Structures are given as structure tokens and as C-alpha cells.
Amino acid sequence: MSVTQAAEEAGEPGRAPSRLVEELESVVIRFVGDSGDGIQLTGTEFSRAVAKAGHDFATHPDYPSEIRAPTGTLFGVSGYQIQFAARQVFTSGDAPDVLVAMNPAALKTNLSDVKRGGIVIVNSGAFTDGNLAKAGYKANPLEDGSLGDFRLYQIDISELTAHALKETGLSKKEIGRCKNYYALGLMLALYSRPLEKEEEDVRRKFAKKPEIAEANVLALRAGYAYVDSTEMFVTSYKVRTAKIAPGTYRSLTGNHAAALGFVAASERSGVPLFLGSYPITPATDILHELSALKHFDIATFQAEDEIAGICSAIGAAYGGALGMTTTSGPGMALKTEALGLAVMLELPLVVVNVQRGGPSTGLPTKIEQSDLLQALYGRNGECPIPVIAANSPADCFDCAIEAFRIAVKYMTPVIFLSDGGIGNAAEPWRVPDPESLPKLEVRFRTDPEGFQVYARDANLARAWVRPGTPGLEHRIGGLEKDFLTGDISHDPANHQRMVEVRAAKVEGIAKDIPPLEVDGPDDGDLLVVGWGSTYGSIVQACEQAAAEGRSVARVHLRHLNPLPPDLGGILKRYKRVLVPEMNLGQLSRLLRERYLIDVIQLSKVQGKPFKVSEIYDRIIDFS
Amino acid sequence: MTSMTATPTLTKKDFESDQDVRWCPGCGDYAVLAQMQKLMPTLGIPRENFAFISGIGCSSRFPYYMETYGMHSIHGRAPAIATGLKLARPELSVWVVTGDGDALAIGGNHFIHAMRRNIGLKIILLNNRIYGLTKGQYSPTSELGKKTKTTPLGSIDRPFSPVAVALGAGATFVARTTDADQAHMGSVLKRAAEHEGTAFVEIFQNCIVFNDGAFAAITDKSVRDDARLLLEHGKPLVFGKNKDKGIRLRGLEPEVVTIGEDGVSVSDLVVHDEASEHSGAAFFLSQFDAPRLPVPLGVFRAVSTPTYEGMNTQLHADARASRGRGDLAALFNSGDLWTIT
Ligand code: SF4
């Protein structure tokens, strides 16, 4: 960390020349406030600003399931955490260096996470007796010395925003809604980001309501100016830009990335996409995104329920479209019977489960990865379905294409697991050249000569026939069918043969799975195996331990059914295997059962992602 | 194929699949199958453009016997599957064959929403007022007091009328016929086939094994004319063996009158208007039930409203007209971009 004079910053407008600029490797900032305070917007805007400055970043939105919980209450607190750095960023960070708290409840619920000595910026105007009481504070923490461990900045954001906007003629309520832009202005100034680009963004975002746009710009400017015009902050901060592969980037959430991946799958196969879906948190954004793309070959259908979501997709797949449905845990449970039908029909279908805390309604807005075994086994009968999982927001793009690649090649439903953390969090996505993306080969059968409904190719896939093709009229259904003709069959030997061939078909997908990339030594004390959104925390924990000379390697699984063919050999090269999971050990169970090895489980089910330190602490126990 | 080759004329035989029909001998389903196979070649639609989708139940075996595209799916879900198929392939003629349990119990939600949307499906409900495949339990259309294996002391479930449910859901074509009157069934199915939007047809179907004679009063030739009311568009509601009975309104209450008695003439009777803008008149008819009133058969409602698939196609056309055909590179490169060099 180096401290230099602010003269370096001379090129940037409006900077007070006397302030010190402290250079940082990385910063973790958490914005917290009422769910109606616009916290998610502030966080998103801030992450865009740092991304444009060339930083890598990762975010974690954390919001209550109530849309507008009563103001000032503990359960109504919404948060948005971002880490940005001069190096590659894998997680939104363990402990915030900076907390921006818009009211007492937000302070109370988040303070314990903040680094000792960290910066706490509070909207002191919200620390009224009423709000303090709602948050359960007996004494005002701004006055009783309880924040002594932190660098506390009290700024009456409510009042300062009102003052800045007094000429606008807006109502008190409307002015109150601009507070978040004041806070954003503060942070942009403190972290040495220019204001102009953000102003343009605000004007664009509120183009339909110019008076609100101007009010937000005023609030933003006032917050920005506050840092410069007061003596309060003696230092501002600068994070060097990261070394990122050259290219064009944009910030994408996992759900948005998945949507783009599905469009790509359609365009690269030349087959129309059909999404049948029922709104459910945290998966709905995929439906939102695709619904807006009617100028592509994309049909979206908001079904009457979860079952109709998947069933309409099955109908579309029968009609020769890339059928898909999106959901989260409880919705997945409802789709179970139809998934069995899709397995029997042997039609391509992609089912996205953006997992959330369960069981039942569980924790709709919180992160968990506890639907793995449901994805593998949650159906009646022997009902194998390939399962893949994304490890980051940007990875959802690739997984969406991979899901359809498997579905059409093997004529099978595929379950694509994401989770609320990945789905809603954003990270930079390097915009690919569409021509560089895999082409999905789809050939509909049109030749009636020798057609048998369940005849199979070398991949054990049957032919895909579009209704409307003369001479290929045929019936399929959920009853067991003859191995070749597809006619109903209750023959005992035929049933065994069909059960086995459906299993063999899915097992056979393993031959397409590329070799696993092991990060670290080829053998040693410890291998950390992960899947899904634990990726970032695992990478950082392993890097940290390896840098200290620990004998640790890691591998991350995208394919969970079938498992990669080389996994068994890799597992055996290490003395111990550690599996961190946001469930009670579902992958651990699979690995034990499949490879007859012991596995150290590291479980977390708190609706929050792993902290790097939580994984690191276990690594150093075994390496 | 050369341009000289005309499309071969199809016959009923062309729509009979090679599968053995497995309904109980004497089941009313046979008559429906025969009428359907007879109707298909008359519609001028290539055979490969038909798809029959069904759920679970005796009636849901139907697709296996039709030499068309078809799917025997899962219980109650046929309208949802058919909706996806019709949206993906609006040019296909998509038929749903269902039963009283399949459509009205387990699949009630999909059933009403298909009609609410007015998606171009032909939904044929074979109502036998019993669960046949599971061997004789009461269904949502079984009458109050019905004794079955699950209601040994008589059912306390009030039945509902499929026609009334369909009308309540906003169906644009609603009709009723019986398995016993081939000519009537044939004409009703033809009307359904020609309707744009959801066409719903309830067919009274005799389950000879578990509910034999459930509709005898309406289908038995010796008594049916006094128990049924054949609906004809623009004609007064007249019924009876001697065509001397009619329906007259007293306020909003229907009453049976005899033409020629007490000064009643045909001009006093309600005139059936299947094209009435609102579905009130059709709903009024859907409430007619034996023994107080004759049971109406025929087309209750047939109105023209934009179809769901048609509007969906239009949305896509409009989007393309205003934005141009979607381009992947342009989509990727939209939004807030930054470049790292
Ligand atoms: S049980 Fe009844 S409805 Fe089913 S096939 Fe036999 S007669 Fe027909």
C-alpha cells in the first residue's frame, strides 16, 4: 500500500489538491439500508463505475423477501456488497472495509461483519429516536462510544439531500428517494471515480422522468462535492486497475448471462427457443430477459403454474423447438412428474433451477446449493437426468449453451443448477465473438424409410422428428415402450432393457466431458473439490494457503451427472479430500458412494456464501 | 414429387393406427374414435399436421389409435403440453382428448387457462361421470349422493358442469354432444375443428363397466327427445317427442311450456344465439339439468376472438418490424460496455 500526494490525480475535475490518496490492492464495500432505499441500485451503479475504470469485481446482493418491509426494521434491511481490486476478484469479499449504513437497523444488522478499524459511514439523519427504537438500540450508538473500533463518519444524508434538492419542487417523499444517489456520490468521490459518466447513466436510466433524473443528478453531485468541500475525509482511495484480458466487457448477473447463453444456443443451432415458466424468486429474471427478445426466434410463455411451465416446454420440444423452463427449488419439486415424462419421451429439454434456501418456501432470497440430490434423484422410477452447475455469473452463459448441447445431442432433459448468489450477483463478462461459440448440430429426421421411433444412434439418442413431417406420424407417451418401435410394452425383459439403456445414455455423456483442470500440485496433502457458486471462495482460500506453502490443490466440477471420467483418478492422488458445500454434504455423499473414498465435509447453510477464511481455516487443518 | 402428383385423398382408414384398441367392449369411447377418424380426412388438412395430446385415463388412450402425431402424457397436463406445441407450431391442428377426472380434477388449472387464453386447441372431454381406469371412484361430475367405492354412503361432493366451467373460463366455442348420436357428434366435432381459438366439446360417454346408463335418459331413443334440447343457432328452444315443448323466460327464470297450451306460441320462446357477445345466454343454458329442464346438446357458444397463438405471432412480427431480426453480436454488445486494452 502506498500513500502518494493527490497531485497524481490532477487530471480529475473537482479534486481538492490537499487530500492524500491511499492506494489499495482491493476494497470491500457494503451498502445497507431499508429495502425501499434503493440500495440495490446504488450497489449496481457503483459496480458499473468501478468496472468501467478497469477493475475486476464481484458482488453479493442480499435483500429481504418482502418487497417493501416496514421501514426502519431489522428484517427490512437490504444490502449490496462489492469487492473490487487490482487483481482478479473471485468473491464479494469476507468482511467489508467500508460499511455505508442508511439507518440504525442497517448498522445494527451489519456492523459485526465489518473489519475492525474499517470505515463506517452512517446517515446520521436517520438515527432518530423512533428508528433507534425500531432497531432495538437502547442508546444511540453514534453517541455512546460503541463504535470506537471503527472509523466513524456521521453524515446527515437525509438533510443534506433535502437541502440540495430544495429548489426542485419535489415532494418530501420524492426527495427522500434520492438519498441513495447522495450516498453513491460520496463513495465515487472517496474512491476517486469521475462523476460525469455516472451523471450520463442517471439521465439515461430516468429518461422517462426527467425531473427525477435531474434530482438524482443533483443529489449525486452534492454527495460528491461533500467529500471535497469538507475536512471530514483526509484521505481518499484509489485501487489500481486489474490486469484483465483485453477485450470488450459488460457487467452481467448470472440470470442475464444465462438468458444470453440460451439465445446463443438457439442462434447457433438454428432452432427456435421456447421458454415456459412461472415467476419464482430468484429465477424470474431469466424469463424477464428472454421475454424482451421477441425479435429473435424466442417465444416466452408465462404459464399458469410451474407444472404448465415445464409441460408447455415439453410440448414445444415435441414440436421441434429448444424447450426450456426456469424455476427454483419449490417449483422444481412441482415439475418432478413432468421431468419423468421428458425422460421417457427422450426429448431435449433444459430445466434451470436457480437454487435458494430450502426446504419448502425456505429462504427465497438467500443462497444455498441444497438441490443437488433432488436434481439427481428426485423422481419416481429409475430416472437419470444429466446435471450441470455454473460456478459464477459469467459461467451461466457457457452452462446455458452446454445444457442445450447435451440435451439435443443425447435427446434428454438436462438440469442446469445455478443459485440465488450467482443469479443476482454481477461480474464482468467478456463479450465473445458469436462465431467463436460452439455450433449445436440439430438434424430433424425426415426420412420415413426404416423409421423406428426408439431406434438409437451411437450416442443412444433417438431421432428428433417434427410433427408436420409426412410419413413419420407416431405416438409417444409416459408408458414404458418397446425398445425399437416405441409402442406400449409391458414385457419384463424389455422394461429392464429400457431402464438400462436410459441409464447408459446418460452415463455415456461422460465421454464428452473435457479433462478436469486441477489447480495446484498433481498430488499432495489435500484436494478441495467444489461445485457451483462456492467457486470464488474456494479459489481464494486455496491461493492463500498455497502462497503460504501449503500442499493443496483444487478442482471444480461443472458436470455433476455424469461425473467427469477422470475425477476418480484425481481424487486418489491426494491424502485427503475436502468438499465445501452450502448444504449438509450432498456432493460429499456422491463422492463417497461413487469412489469409496472418505471426504471431509465443510457445510454452511446460513443463506450466505462461504467466507474465504472459513474455507482457508479448514484447508490449513489438513495441509 | 412432381407437380403432377395431387395430394392423395385421405380416408378414414388412413387415420386408423396399427394399435389394438384396448377399451372395454361396448365403451362409448369407440364411437368417438370412429367419428374422429371419419372427420379428419374431411378437413383438408394433411395428416402429418394433426397432433393428438392426452393425459391419463381411459379416454387418454385415444392418441395411440390415431395415425397422426400424438402424445399420451401425464395426468391432467395435456392442455399445457398442447399449448406449448401450438405456440411453437401454430400451423398444426392440435387436439386434446381428456376426461372428467383428467380435465376437471387434477388438470383443472390447465383446462381453464387454455380457454382463458383462447389458444387454438380442440379440447374434447369424454365425460362418463366416473373414474374408469382406477376402477370406479366418483369424479368431479358425479352426481350428489352417488355411491362408488370411495363414497359407499353416497357422494357429498357437488358436481360441476364442464360446459359451465368452460364458459366461466371464457371459452369462445363450447358444445356438448353424446356418444350415442353419431350424426350429432360428427357435426359438433366438425364445428369445433373449424373454430379459431379454443374449441371445447363435452361428450357424454357411457362407461359400460362402472357407470352404465349414466346418460340413458338423454341417449335412449325412446325417451331422449323429452329429456334433451337440441340447440340450433337462431332457432327457438323447442324440444319433446312432438316438438311441442319449449323454454320460456319468466323474468330470468326458465320454464318449460307446451306450445299451443294456455295461449303459448313459438314466438314466446327463447331464441338460441350462439354468437351472443357475452356468454350469459350460454351460461343460462349450461345450468339446465334433468329432471326439471331438458339437457341442452349442440353448440352453446361460438364467437370469434383473436387467438393466443395469432397474437403471439403478431408480437414477434411487430418486434422484428421495429427492431429488425435479432442479431447475436448486437445483443452481446448492447448495454454498458467497456474495453480493456
Ligand atoms: S372402464 Fe369404462 S370408460 Fe374405461 S374403457 Fe372401460 S367402459 Fe370405457
What are the two backbone dihedrals, phi and then psi, of residue B5, each rounded to the nearest 5 degrees?
A: -75, 115
Q: Write down the domain spans for chain A.
A: 2-239, 250-436, 524-622
A146, A159 contact by CB (below 8 A): no
CB distance B256 to ligand 1 below 6 Å: no
Work out the average pLDDT over B83-102. 98
Residue B329 has pLDDT above 50, yes or no: yes
- Ligand 1 atom 8, closest CA: B27
CA–CA separation, A514 and A496 (whole Å): 31
Q: Where are the beta strands (DSSP E) in B81-230?
A: 93-99, 121-127, 173-178, 199-204, 228-230
In terms of domains, do B260 and B112 share one? no
Nearest of B213, B261, B221 to residue B241 by alpha carbon: B221
Residue B320 scores a pLDDT above 80 = yes
Report H helices in A113-156.
Answer: 129-134
pLDDT tens profile B205-244:
999 999 999 999 999 999 999 999 999 999 999 999 999 9
Q: Any idea what DSSP says for residue A184? A: H
Q: Say if residue B83 is in the same domain as residue B228.
A: yes
CATH architecture of A250-436: 3-Layer(aba) Sandwich (3.40)
Q: What is the mean pLDDT of residues A409-438?
A: 96
**Residues B266 and B252 occupy one common structural domain:** yes
Determine whether B250 is exposed, middle or buried from the number of CB atoms within 10 Å of its CB (0-12, 13-18, 19+).
exposed
Between chains, do B81 and A296 touch, taking CB under 8 Å as contact? no
Could you confirm whether domain A524-622 is CATH 3.40.190.180? no
Look at residue B72 and tell me if it is in a domain: yes
By residue count, chain A amounts to: 623
Sequence length of chain B is 341
User: Are B218 and B133 contained in the same domain?
Assistant: yes
Amino acid of residue A526: L
- Name which of B80, B333, B341 is nearest A303 (Cβ-Cβ): B80
**HEC profile for A403-442?**
HHHHHHHHCCEEEEEEEHHHHHCEEEEECCCHHHCCCCCC
Of A35, A173, A161, whose CA–CA distance to A103 is shortest? A35
Does B246 share its domain with B137? no
Chain B residues inside the 8 Å CB shell of A466? 89
pLDDT band at B7 (very low <50, low <70, confident <90, very high): low
What atom of ligand 1 comes closest to residue B208's alpha carbon?
7
Ligand 1 centroid to B215 CA: how many Å? 15
Q: Could you tell me the three cell numbers for B322?
A: 421495429
pLDDT grade, residue A236 (50/70/90)? confident
Q: Tell me whether residue B41 is in a domain.
A: yes
Q: What is the topology classification, in CATH, of domain A2-239?
A: Pyruvate-ferredoxin Oxidoreductase; domain 3 (3.40.920)
**Alpha carbon separation from B106 to A10, A86, A138, B110, B129 (Å, rounded):** 71, 58, 55, 9, 15
Q: Which residues of A touch B19 (CB under 8 A)?
A: 475, 487-488
Rounded Cα gap, residues A503 and A383, in angstroms:
8
Which among B59, B65, B96, B340 is the top mutation candidate for probing chain A, defined by the most A β-carbons within 10 Å of its own β-carbon? Answer: B340
**Distance from the first to the final alpha carbon of chain A:** 30
The predicted pLDDT at position A242 comes to 78
Is B254 in the same domain as B136?
A: no
Taking the alpha carbons of A55, A58, A60, A61 in that order, is the dihedral positive or negative? positive
The total of structural domains in chain B comes to: 2
Do B64 and B203 fall into the same domain? yes
3-state secondary structure of A264: helix
Q: Which helix (H) or strand (E) holds B213?
A: none
**Spatial distance between the Cα atoms of B240 and B256, rounded to a whole number of angstroms:** 11
Which of A170-179, A354-363, A607-616, B53-62 comes out lowest in average pLDDT? A170-179
The three cell numbers locating residue A478: 409416459
Side chain identity, residue B50: F
Residue A14, pLDDT above cutoff 70: no
Residue A13 above 80 pLDDT?
no
Specify the range with the lowest mean pLDDT, choosing from A99-108, A226-235, B53-62.
Answer: A226-235
Q: Of A361, A366, A429, A364, which Cα lies nearest the Cα of A392?
A: A429
A3-19 average pLDDT score: 42
Q: Ligand 1: which of B129, B207, B215 to mutate, most ligand atoms within 8 Å of CB?
A: B207
Q: Which residues contact A591 (CB under 8 A, 6 or more apart)?
A: A529, A571, A577, A579, A597, A599
Is B341 part of a structural domain of the chain? no
Whether ligand 1 lies within 6 angstroms of the CB of B100 is answered as no
Q: How far apart are CA B264 and CA A252, in angstroms?
A: 76
Q: For A566-589, write each residue's pLDDT tens digit.
A: 999 999 999 999 999 999 999 999
In order of A62, A447, A465, A566, the CA distances from B1 in angstroms are: 63, 14, 21, 52
pTM attached to this predicted model = 0.91
Say which residues have a Cβ less than 8 Å from residue B124's Cβ, sequence separation at least 6.
B32, B36, B95, B96, B97, B98, B189, B192, B201, B203
Q: How far is the alpha carbon of A249 from chain B, nearest alpha carbon, in Å?
A: 5
Q: How far apart are CA B286 and CA B282, in angstroms?
A: 6
Q: Is the ipTM of this complex over 0.95?
A: yes
Same domain, B231 and B83: yes
Q: Are residues B84 and B186 in the same domain?
A: yes
Q: In this predicted model, what pLDDT tens digit does every residue of A104-149 receive, in sequence order?
A: 999 999 999 999 999 999 999 999 999 999 999 999 999 998 999 9
pLDDT at B278: 87
Pocket test of ligand 1: the residue of B21, B208, B212, B215 to mutate, having most ligand atoms within 8 Å of its CB, is B208
- What angle is formed at CA A45 by the lines to CA A41 and CA A47, rounded to 5 degrees? 120
Tell me which residue range forms the domain holding B36: 12-235+272-313
Is residue B293 in a domain? yes
Instruction: Check residue B337 and give its pLDDT.
Output: 86
**What pLDDT was estimated at residue B290?**
87
Give the pLDDT confidence score for residue A55 in this predicted structure.
86
User: What CATH number is attached to the domain comprising B31?
Assistant: 3.40.50.970
> Mean pLDDT of all residues in chain A?
93
> pLDDT for B171-184, tens place per residue?
999 999 999 999 99
Does a structural domain hold residue B320? Answer: no
- Ligand 1 mean position to B26 CA, how many Å? 8
Please tell me if the domain spanning A2-239 has the same topology as the one spanning A250-436.
no
Q: Scanning the structure block, which residue is given the C-alpha cell 320460456?
A: B248
B330 domain-assigned: no
User: What band does A198 get if pLDDT is binned at 50, 70 and 90?
Assistant: confident
Closest CA of chain A from B327, distance in Å? 8
The model's pLDDT over A22-61, given as tens digits with 9 standing for 90+, comes to: 888 899 999 999 877 889 999 998 988 888 888 889 999 8
Residues B160 and B276 in one domain: yes
The confidence band for A228, taking pLDDT boundaries of 50, 70 and 90, is confident
Residue B225 and residue B253 share a domain = no
B30 and B89 belong to one structural domain: yes
Shortest CA gap B249–chain A (Å): 38
**pLDDT above 80 (res A6):** no
